[in-house]
Structure 1
Amino acid sequence: MRERRTIIDAGWILLLLIWSVTILFPLIWVFYESLRTNQEFFQDVWKLPSELKWSNYRKAWEAYGIGRAMLNTVYYVGASLAIGTFLTAINAYVLTRLEFRGRKLVWGLIMLSLFLPGINALVPQYILMRDLHLTNSLTGLVILDSLSESAFYLMMLAGFIQSLPKELEESASIDGASIFQTFFRIIMPLSTAGIVTVAIFKFLGLYNSFLGPFIYLSDPKKYTIGVAMYQANMIMQYKTDWVTLFAGLVITMVPLVLMYIFLQRSIMEGATMGAVKG
């Protein structure tokens, strides 16, 4: 029995190693190609470069407006993340801890939204944004993404908040605390792990968001990093500067890689705690 476990464990380890290679190989390959010349790239994609072309990164930064796109992305992601995470937290608190008429109906509508493709809301959202004069505006995108509540994030945080002892709120109510005081002083501090987990997933979704910025932004000076790199890719139809494009892709991946390196423990702990308590 012990030998059988060992063989099974070895099989799982081998499977995970193969899986990790399939994930890491494209990233390493893109970085490798970003340090070559276009001539070397078209001659042989596997041959070692004669000289590391770090200048490709400076060229990509200037040619594709990555610096400006990064600033736009920081504003879009930062504002949407702060407002959206706060609204998710307070919505989860209201729907799980407060008793009011129609609460079950609201939860039912939220559950129903899980079965509806998000693309169905694209046309009415665009018409609403156009009528409110919020198209071609980063602030308009912030408003749209902040108010577009995700049922997945709401359910995740609601399950976490619902597991907290109700005696804490009852004690606060006896001491004269209002609903907002209870939320800010008790619920939020105790739900930090769940809120951080939701915030991390929101950050990943916002940073990688393409469809919304692509549809609502028409001024190249307002492009987020996703749209900027899409436009750079479209340019490759008329020119063959692929190594510079690879360098731009590597630059756009740096924030996500750094976030994973520094916050991977928070992701694992938050997701595990939320799953166990929920």
Structure 2
Amino acid sequence: MQRDHSGDAGPTTQSAQAGGAASAVQMGGCRAVPVKSWVPDPKNPSRELPGRTIYTSSLVTPPVLAVEPVPGGSRVRVKETSAALAPIEMRFLDQGRHASTSGGRPDFHGQVCPDPYLADGLTRCVPGKFPIVYDVTEPGSALIRRGEEEHCADYIIAFLLTLGSVASEVNRLAQSGKTFASRAAAQKELSKTVKIPPQSWRTYFECLVKRVTAERDDWLKLHTLMKPRPERVRIESDATGAKVALYPVLLPGVGKHSSIELILKALPACNAEVGWKP
């Protein structure tokens, strides 16, 4: 099966293949892991997250441009290669009740107010110091998971457009039957379709991953759990805590921006990082 990216921007002018005769691209996909507690934020120990997609550079095996001698002569030919992306783990809160904490300490809500859409019996705002408990329903857990699936899609599409596409181009050259005077000559031929040199292939992919992740999480804050409004907080029956249902309004950024949109936005900076001028 071929996935045509010929109309997409990226470091090659040809399409990326998932599979094919040479199995140039190997992907483990996304692995969903529901968890029973908030996920620590590796960038901020005092912050805990409803979900996190775990990507490290060790998950990636980039393609290589290697040559081997042609029997009976002094020329060389390109060897087939592959690019691999190991399974990406997505952690997200499972359904259930989860106390909201920061740095291991409980979070509190200062007041609870009447909601005109809920028959809760409140007629005025009730002040207090209520420990916040998120009531994550099955749809609420699915909402968090969808946010993590966006990250996983970002990484897979970036991989296909860069390392996967490069591996397919190297294999196309390997299967062409062409021979070359040297590896440098083979690289020159490959540069007709792969515009970034081999030493920058991984760098280019890692740049896209870093910038797209930062765009979603740090700059646009698409997966930041919004602080609930007082009228969306319910007092527990024993008045010891405040219960918050995980409505979509608390994660308003999920589904707002596609992977391709954010990757295209990141391309100019990554092109500059590897010195490529389209």
- State the TM-score bracket (shorter-chain normalisation): under 0.3
Q: Which has the larger radius of gyration?
A: 2
Whose helix fraction is larger, Structure 1's or Structure 2's? 1
Tell me: higher relative CO, structure 1 or 2? Use CA pairs within 8 A at least 6 residues apart. 1
Whose strand fraction is larger, Structure 1's or Structure 2's? 2
TM-score under structure 2 normalisation? 0.27
